[in-house]
Structure 1
Amino acid sequence: MSIAVIGSGAIGQRHAHNLDVLGEQVQLISMRAAGLSGVEAVFGEGVEAAIICTETQMRIPVIELAARHDIPVYIEKPVAFRSSDLMEIEALLGDLGRRSFVGYMMRYHPAVQYLAAQDHALVYRFCFEIGHDVTQWRQNWRFEDSYAAKPEGGGVLLDLCHEIDMAQVVLGPLTVQGVSAVGHGAYPGVDFSSQLSLTSDTAQGVVAMDYINPISTRRMVLFGQDQNITFDFANDRYTIQRDNGAQQLDLSIDRQQMFQNAMADFITLVRSGQAQNPIAPVFAKEMASCAVICTAYEQRKFTSTLGAKT
């Protein structure tokens, strides 16, 4: 049987390519061209699973169709940006959520897997950050034409929410204490920079993301009573510092390989009922992470507006 990829944008094409590389039969479906009736026709013919890559606000009707046909789904992140929508999706999937995935592909980075396996009871402060100049993001890509530029479902907090999920899987459960956002005069309601204040039972910290930084940045720091951990994903450096010196870890991986590994594990879950990765983003287990993202989006407070670049 084939696997349907719903949404033919950049991420949908990437997933379709990876499925092809993995030797799977793929149907790539454009929502704009096919519409819901076209998706329903494909589901009615019988597919093994569906990868949902539509804009976030368009997903519930597709998920409803998949659930009606008992088709496991791989839902691109974020699953939802409203808590009510997330609860509706959870109800629609029901037991199917045990065979479905969320697109948190950073769960397949060796550095995240390493941290998730450690005890972080002595961590008292943390910082996760990601930033880049959105105008240099992708070749032949225009921000103003993308989903990210829309006030409903757009903005950096949702677009780069991997960092929120990484904080949750490494240090969770986390509680959102507040979110401050920097807006843009030309895009009302769209956050170009957001900073989340988060707490766990033992630590406090921030997750910060932006579309502005001229130097691409992606790193996390865990401050502990016994050691500091600094993982610089952008420069592929993974350091643990203790009183007696620093240790460098080899935790490198190609970004494309993470996508392929995540997709391969989803297929394993669909066919065997069990994913291989111990922190695989199985939907039924990921409500807490998805809920933190929704809560953060709903709590955004626009405190500043970008100044003119001279």
Structure 2
Amino acid sequence: MSHRILIVGCGSIGERHLRCFQRTGRAELAVCDVNDSLLATVSQRYQVPGFRDVGAALAAGSYDGVVICSPAHTHLGIAVQALRHGAGVLIEKPLSTRIDDVDALRSAVAAAGKFAAVAYVYHFIPGVAAMREFLRGGSLGRPLQVSVVAGQHFPTFRPAYREIYYTRHETGGGAIQDALTHVANAVEWLVGPTGRLCCEAAHQALEGVEVEDTVCVAARNGDVLVSYTLNQFQAPNEVTIQVHCADGSVRYEGHEQRWSVFRRGDSGWTHYAAPVAERDALFVSQAHAFLDGLEGKPTALCTVEEAVQTLKFNLAALESARTGKAMTIP
């Protein structure tokens, strides 16, 4: 079955979604962007129709799904518009930069009866998914503590970071909303929602911006204590998530493309390969999952409610960093 999909936003992530949906062989695609030059380039490169305005794109035809890759502060308005036109939605992370419009999204999803999900791509990393299934098996007992250490050289991966949404919190910029949100959502997927946190954040190194590029968070997810350490200037591109349970530990190492188990009484870690052929492979899997969701099939995609919870984490971390106070997340 082929689905008509509109990609809103032709920046780096929008272009990635476009080519990955094309690779599924299950979608007829169109794109939309307010930047005429960028729109023309991407439309021509992938030989798909292009529209400058979301309203015009939606009026031009019926879409099964809309993938929203515009700056985060525009996500919910576009999502509501798409749902009212009868399309399902896949919203890039973070869900938004504000909590205020979440109820409007919930109402639009309910009224449309369409599939809605949020593109937290860690749900499709094989090592993270395998670790989650292992934890759910319960052989190590209940989780007690999680530690996350992550970082990369952001300018290598986003050379134009000074010219895009990243420069301002209001548009979804800074390390908390851009990078920490990925691992926070993954940890909540593994051990449950965050209820309390305290955050220190600072601009340490990235040139040409003032938003934070370094974050340290101490959090409580129910009975589980969690710590995050992340920066966007270090040379190695690495992420490690460790979950320590009553009877052993489990670990994901993205840079080693593996997950590992250390049971109480073992002499060392047992490693399990979890290779990712190339980064687009995760987004192809995510695209297939969205198309499956449109067809009523179960998927591993982040739900709207899971993304709302992570939005609350983002906002609490920003407020804690600003005020120096611990924050409770309702």
For Structure 1 versus Structure 2, the TM-score category normalised by the shorter chain is 0.7 to 0.9
Amino acid at match of 2:275: S
1:165 matched to 2:185 = yes
Gaps of 5+ in 1: 304-310
Residue 222 of structure 1 deviates from its aligned partner by 1.4
Of 235-244 and 10-19, the range deviating more from structure 2: 235-244
The answer as to 2:165 corresponding to 1:147 is yes
For 2:289 and 2:249, the matched residues in 1 are separated by 32
Residues 1:218 and 2:221 aligned together: no
The corresponding residue for 2:28 is: 25
**Is the alpha carbon distance of 1:17 and 1:288 closer, same or farther for their aligned partners in structure 2, counting shifts above 3 Å?**
same
Q: 2:149 aligns with which of 112, 115, 129?
A: 129
Secondary structure at 1:165 match in 2: helix
- The equivalent of 1:307 in structure 2 is none
Structural mapping, 1:62-73, within 5 Å: 62-73=78-89
Query: Is the Cα contact below 8 Å between 1:90 and 1:97 reproduced in 2?
Result: no
Partner SS state of residue 316, structure 2: helix
The aligned runs of 1:29-68 (5 Å cut-off) are 29-33=32-36, 38-44=53-59, 45-68=61-84
Query: TM-score, normalised to structure 1's length?
Result: 0.86
Equivalent residue letter for 2:232 = Y
How many residues were matched structurally? Answer: 297
The answer to whether the 8 A contact 1:98-1:284 is kept is: no
- What secondary structure does 2:31 align onto? strand
Alpha-carbon distance between aligned partners in 2 of 1:167 and 1:284, rounded to the nearest angstrom: 15
Contact 1:176-1:296 at 8 Å conserved across structures: no
Where in structure 2 are the equivalents of 1:141-290 lying within 5 Å? Answer: 141-152=159-170, 153-160=172-179, 161-183=181-203, 187-188=209-210, 190-242=211-263, 243-245=265-267, 246-254=269-277, 255-271=279-295, 273-275=296-298, 277=299, 279-284=300-305, 286-290=307-311
Percent of paired sites with the same residue: 17
How has the CA–CA distance of structure 1 residues 89 and 210 changed in structure 2, closer, same or farther, with 3 Å as cutoff? farther
How far is the alpha carbon of 1:186 from its aligned partner? Answer: 5.4
Deviation at 1:176, TM superposition (A): 3.0
Structure 1 counterpart of 2:147, one-letter code: C
Instruction: Output the CA distance in 2 between the equivalents of 1:284 and 1:231.
Output: 25
For residues 223 and 229 of structure 1, the distance between their equivalents in structure 2, rounded to whole angstroms, comes to: 7
Deviation at 1:291, TM superposition (A): 2.9
CA RMSD of aligned residues (A): 2.5
Distance 1:83 1:110 in 2: 31
Give 1:84's match in structure 2, choosing from 84, 88, 100. 100
Quick check: 12-21 or 59-68, which moved more?
Answer: 59-68
Q: CA deviation at 1:224?
A: 2.2
* Alpha carbons 1:123, 1:223 under 8 Å: kept: yes
Quickly say closer, same or farther: Cα 1:237–1:177, change in 2 above 3 A: same
Partner secondary structure for residue 239 of structure 2? strand
Q: CA deviation at 1:31?
A: 2.9
Unaligned runs of 5+ in 2: 40-49, 325-330
- Distance, in Å, in 2 between the alignment partners of 1:131 and 1:166 is 15
